[in-house]
Structure 1
């Protein structure tokens, strides 16, 4: 069904400006919100960087079980926890041609405030610009 998730670590980079906007009750940057090191996740042949890990919301095993190929079209994947269940939602970058106002990453804060449980753990994955080369399919 799906390849295993591969996690790689490296040095920390700045989080995009739109991800720095947080709900008012979380306006202070907390060390646990951002990974200490750059963490790359490879799933479905795509590389993603964990750019925000609020309240240790990232769980590779549960993410692997919940991930769907439908999410590959998005530039960002938000995972939030409610009632011990992980919910995944995709968002586009702000200037993406297919994006609507509610499907852009700049609306992430509104999504967290309106649709997620108050104070829930969540994470944000950003699709890496440098993707691994596609494997050639052999035809018979």
Structure 2
């Protein structure tokens, strides 16, 4: 009888654990509009995305980039732009393929961050703004 109880307890524990891995979950496509430009959230590590703080920190200088990385350190959001890998103005350190190096070398260890990609579908003149 004791063996039956312990087997049931183990089965309950296994069933309570999430069955899906986070990367396998289908994420809803989220589009953000800032200064008439559309960006898609392609990564939201540790729930780093905060729309209010992003809008406050956003600068028009970032519009030239294809990607924007936002990372958190000491309760401050820092934004950095990156180009797509084949962009003519890109250097090795300014391409999106160097993002992992940037996160590992310049961001606080284990920090929350997000990645926005400039959307190819830019807003039409008659479309309503979501802000």
TM-score range (shorter-chain normalised) is: 0.7 to 0.9
Q: Secondary structure at the match of 1:38?
A: coil
* Alignment deviations for residues 40-91 of structure 1 (CA, whole Å, 9 cap, x no partner): 0000110000000000000000001000000000000000000000000000
User: In the TM superposition, what is the alpha-carbon distance from 1:35 to its structure 2 partner?
Assistant: 7.5
Q: Provide the aligned C-alpha RMSD in A.
A: 2.0
In the alignment, the residues of structure 2 paired with residue 80 and residue 35 of structure 1 have an alpha-carbon distance, to the nearest angstrom, of: 23
- Higher fraction of helix: 2
Aligned counterpart for 2:36 among listed residues 36, 45, 57: 45
Q: Secondary structure at the match of 2:101?
A: helix
Are residues 1:127 and 2:121 paired?
no
| Aligned residues between the structures | 106
Compared CA separation, residues 85 and 35, structure 1 to 2 (3 A): farther
Q: Counterpart of 2:104?
A: 113
Question: Which residues in structure 2 correspond to 1:77-96 (within 5 Å)?
Answer: 77-96=68-87
Structure-1 separation of matches of 2:73 and 2:67:
20
Q: Which runs of 5+ in 1 are unaligned?
A: 1-29, 136-140
Q: What TM-score do you get using the length of structure 1 for normalisation?
A: 0.71
Q: TM-score, normalised by structure 2?
A: 0.76
Larger radius of gyration: 2
Point out where structure 2 has 5 or more consecutive residues left out of the alignment. 1-20, 127-131
What does residue 66 of structure 1 align with?
A: 57
